[in-house]
């Protein structure tokens, strides 16, 4: 009896755990998903815990445009960056979202930013969980969402930028497509139209990914209908595919004809984009984590093998493989395709990898009973009761190792290349300038990339001149940098630019660039007034 008891202990423990889970399943599931969401929020705020300012210029100018939109109360407004009027910005959906959040929360821009990046990652994880919940892989896929790498170049979910907001439409689109037959074609197509309407105004490149997903899924459904001679259903699906493909083309052609034309030209001509300056992206897979990449490879194999969704099963793996080939071979070698897809496609790839890695992990845990029985035949009777415990323990250890090595590996930090553009001294100077500069007067920065942060900090009505995301690509920035190096400031040149104030603060150094000009009036360290042109001067 003693021997039997000893052998049955693991089974007794498992039975007790299963009984407890059965009694408290709803509560435990809520606790588990809350834990995953908190983990996602924590990981999303990783770059921001010890730095309270936005990390990327795209975050700053999104705040600047949104502030001007709210101030004018219209989607047509004067840009705070001194370049005329904005009329229906291509990413106005994201600006509307930011403005809505700021209005209902009553937070300052910096207050909103203290929680928004983590909340975006948590929301993405929740939607990935919803995608796989019914099929049993939602919890695992959600766990891997925080592993999606973010970098200064490619952006990603831990930045408050349009691409990270638009990424939430991808799992929702997949969820709708997976439930097409259950919900009914008509209802699902309405949902798809809403999704495209949201994505196209938040981040047009992401809309292309959503369109590709929908078109491929609907084409697979059409093929399934033809295979069983449901010709009427196939005809309806042909119409659905046609409408789904034409809508984004028509909307972009009417709303943004110049953007759609330039995108097509770049795709055909092979524009290298920013790669001509920075080279091609590297280190993504190391940043995701070697173990997590291995789980992704396992997951894509199991996903295809299961064929859970019929022919539609192949859509996500095919699109993922296409992205892998495009990002790692086609574009770097031949420069074929739009450069924006190369720069932003890494985030989409990371999302697909997280979903498929989660599917692989969930499939392993589903197979534990069968696997443990197979193991029992290979071990002595004395240890047969421990096989299931060992399998579960190994699975948990692998997941923990994947998350740990993915989040804390050195290559992830090298890939991100975060830098702190804003500091407390510059922030205080911008606040002071906003309080003491009359509306409509332009301020110019000695550091062009710093200019993007000025309007959101200085407040409504404040304008800046010469903001540049990539200073090495603009003539203006080169001129300003020459001034920065020599210290020789031409007053007449500043007047020609419509500048009233010159700011010489340097980001991250707590220092001000020295200048050589006796005409400028220094009213505060690093702040100079540009005198108005006197009568008779030319």
Q: Is the pLDDT of residue 24 over 60?
A: no
Q: Is the pLDDT of residue 267 over 60?
A: no
Do 394 and 466 belong to one domain? no
Residue 10 lies in a domain: no
| CA 121 remoteness from chain centre | 8
Read off the pLDDT of each residue in 208-224 and give the average, rounded to a whole number.
83
Residue 537 lies in a domain: no
- pLDDT averaged over the chain? 82
pLDDT for res 7: 46
Read off the pLDDT of each residue in 304-320 and give the average, rounded to a whole number.
89
Are the CB atoms for 326 and 342 separated by under 8 Å? yes
Do 492 and 363 belong to one domain? no
- Of 381, 416, 451, the residue that ends a domain is 416
Q: What is the pLDDT of residues 358-368, one digit of tens each?
A: 999 999 999 88
Is the model more confident about 351 or about 448? 351
Question: Domain range holding 471?
Answer: 424-529
Do 146 and 170 belong to one domain? yes
Residue 477 lies in a domain: yes
pLDDT for res 1: 42
Do 474 and 511 belong to one domain? yes
Is the model more confident about 487 or about 85? 85
Residue 488 lies in a domain: yes
Read off the pLDDT of each residue in 497-524 and give the average, rounded to a whole number.
84
| Helix, strand, coil percentages in the chain from 3-state DSSP, rounded to 5 | 70, 5, 25
User: What is the rounded CA–CA span in Å between residue 338 and residue 266?
Assistant: 5
Name the domain count of the chain: 2
Are the CB atoms for 503 and 443 separated by under 8 Å? yes
Do 365 and 445 belong to one domain? no
Say which range, 180-194, 285-299, 520-534, has the weakest mean pLDDT: 180-194
Q: Is the pLDDT of residue 172 over 70?
A: yes
Percentage of the chain exceeding pLDDT 70:
79
pLDDT for res 535: 44
pLDDT for res 140: 95
Q: Is the pLDDT of residue 426 over 80?
A: yes
Do 452 and 392 belong to one domain? no
Are the CB atoms for 148 and 354 separated by under 8 Å? yes
pLDDT for res 2: 44
Q: Which pTM does this prediction carry?
A: 0.88
Do 410 and 520 belong to one domain? no
**DSSP run (H or E) holding 506:** strand 505-506
User: What is the rounded CA–CA span in Å between residue 387 and residue 391?
Assistant: 6
Q: Is the pLDDT of residue 176 over 60?
A: yes
Place of tokens 């205080």: 428
- Of 370, 400, 416, the residue that ends a domain is 416
Do 260 and 368 belong to one domain? yes
Are the CB atoms for 155 and 358 separated by under 8 Å? no
For helices 387-408 and 339-366, what crossing angle results, to 10°? 160
Do 156 and 302 belong to one domain? yes
Do 375 and 467 belong to one domain? no
pLDDT for res 448: 78
Residue 73 lies in a domain: no
Is the model more confident about 461 or about 348? 348
Q: Is the pLDDT of residue 356 over 60?
A: yes
Read off the pLDDT of each residue in 86-112 and give the average, rounded to a whole number.
89
pLDDT for res 168: 94
Read off the pLDDT of each residue in 173-187 and give the average, rounded to a whole number.
70
What are the residues whose beta carbons fall under 8 Å from the beta carbon of 467, sequence distance 6 or more? Answer: 61, 81, 82, 445, 448, 449, 451, 452, 454
Residue 397 lies in a domain: yes
Q: Is the pLDDT of residue 335 over 80?
A: yes
- Of 416, 434, 454, the residue that ends a domain is 416
CA distances for 481 relative to 4, 113, 219, 471, 513, angstroms: 81, 30, 53, 9, 11
Residue 23 lies in a domain: no
Q: Is the pLDDT of residue 536 over 80?
A: no
Q: Is the pLDDT of residue 255 over 70?
A: no
Q: How confident is the model at residue 207 (pLDDT cuts 50, 70, 90)?
A: confident
User: In 3D, which of 306, 309, 211, 293 has the Cα closest to residue 260?
Assistant: 211
Is the model more confident about 36 or about 264? 36
pLDDT for res 5: 42
Q: What is the pLDDT of residues 112-166, one digit of tens each?
A: 998 999 999 999 999 999 999 989 999 999 999 999 999 999 999 999 999 999 9
Phi-psi category of residue 365: left, alpha or beta, with phi > 0 → left and psi -120 to 50 → alpha:
alpha
Do 396 and 469 belong to one domain? no
Q: Is the pLDDT of residue 345 over 90?
A: yes
Q: Is the pLDDT of residue 181 over 70?
A: no
Do 386 and 455 belong to one domain? no
């Amino acid at each position: 009896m003693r021997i039997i008891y000893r052998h049955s202990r693991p089974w007794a423990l498992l039975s007790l755990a299963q009984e407890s889970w059965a009694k408290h399943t709803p509560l435990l599931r809520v606790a588990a998903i809350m834990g995953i969401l908190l983990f996602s929020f924590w990981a999303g705020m990783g770059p921001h815990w010890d730095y309270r300012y936005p990390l990327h210029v795209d975050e700053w100018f999104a705040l600047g445009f949104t502030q001007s939109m709210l101030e004018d109360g219209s989607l047509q407004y004067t840009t705070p960056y001194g370049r005329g009027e904005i009329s229906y910005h291509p990413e106005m959906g994201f600006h509307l979202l930011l403005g809505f959040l700021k209005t209902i929360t009553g937070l300052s821009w910096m207050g909103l930013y203290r929680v928004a990046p983590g909340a975006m990652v948590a929301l993405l994880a929740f939607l990935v969980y919803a995608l796989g919940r019914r099929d049993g892989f939602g919890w695992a896929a959600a766990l891997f969402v925080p592993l999606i790498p973010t970098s200064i170049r490619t952006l990603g979910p831990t930045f408050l930028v349009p691409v990270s907001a638009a990424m939430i439409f991808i799992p929702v689109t997949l969820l709708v497509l997976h439930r097409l037959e259950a919900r009914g074609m008509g209802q699902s197509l309405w949902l798809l139209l809403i999704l495209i309407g949201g994505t196209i105004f938040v981040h047009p490149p992401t809309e292309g990914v959503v369109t590709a997903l929908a078109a491929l899924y609907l084409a697979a459904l059409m093929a399934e209908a033809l295979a069983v001679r449901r010709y009427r259903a196939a005809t309806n699906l042909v119409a659905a595919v046609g409408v789904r493909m034409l809508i984004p083309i028509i909307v972009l052609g009417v709303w943004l004809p110049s953007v759609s034309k330039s995108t097509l030209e770049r795709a055909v001509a092979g524009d290298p984009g920013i790669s001509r300056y920075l080279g091609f992206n590297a280190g993504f897979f190391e940043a995701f984590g070697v173990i997590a990449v291995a789980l992704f490879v396992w997951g894509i194999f199991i996903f295809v093998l299961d064929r859970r969704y019929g022919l539609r099963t192949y859509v996500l793996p095919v699109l993922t493989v296409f992205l892998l080939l495009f990002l790692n071979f086609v574009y770097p070698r031949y420069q074929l395709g739009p450069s924006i897809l190369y720069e932003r496609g890494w985030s989409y790839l990371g999302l697909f990898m997280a979903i498929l890695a989660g599917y692989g992990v969930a499939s392993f845990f589903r197979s534990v009973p069968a696997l443990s029985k197979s193991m029992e035949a290979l071990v002595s009777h004395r240890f047969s009761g421990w096989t299931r415990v060992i399998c579960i323990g190994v699975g948990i250890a692998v997941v923990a190792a994947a998350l740990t090595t993915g989040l804390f590996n050195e290559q992830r930090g090298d890939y991100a290349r975060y830098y702190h553009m804003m500091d407390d001294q510059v922030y205080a100077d911008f606040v002071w300038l906003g309080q003491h500069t009359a509306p409509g007067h332009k301020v110019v920065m000695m550091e062009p990339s710093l200019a993007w942060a000025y309007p959101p900090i200085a407040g409504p009505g404040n304008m800046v001149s010469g903001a540049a995301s990539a200073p090495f690509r603009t003539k203006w920035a080169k001129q300003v940098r020459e001034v920065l190096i020599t210290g020789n400031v031409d007053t007449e040149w500043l007047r020609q630019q419509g500048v009233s104030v010159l700011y010489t603060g340097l980001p991250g150094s707590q220092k001000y660039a020295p200048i050589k000009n006796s005409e400028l009036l220094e009213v505060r360290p690093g702040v100079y007034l540009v005198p108005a042109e006197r009568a008779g001067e030319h």
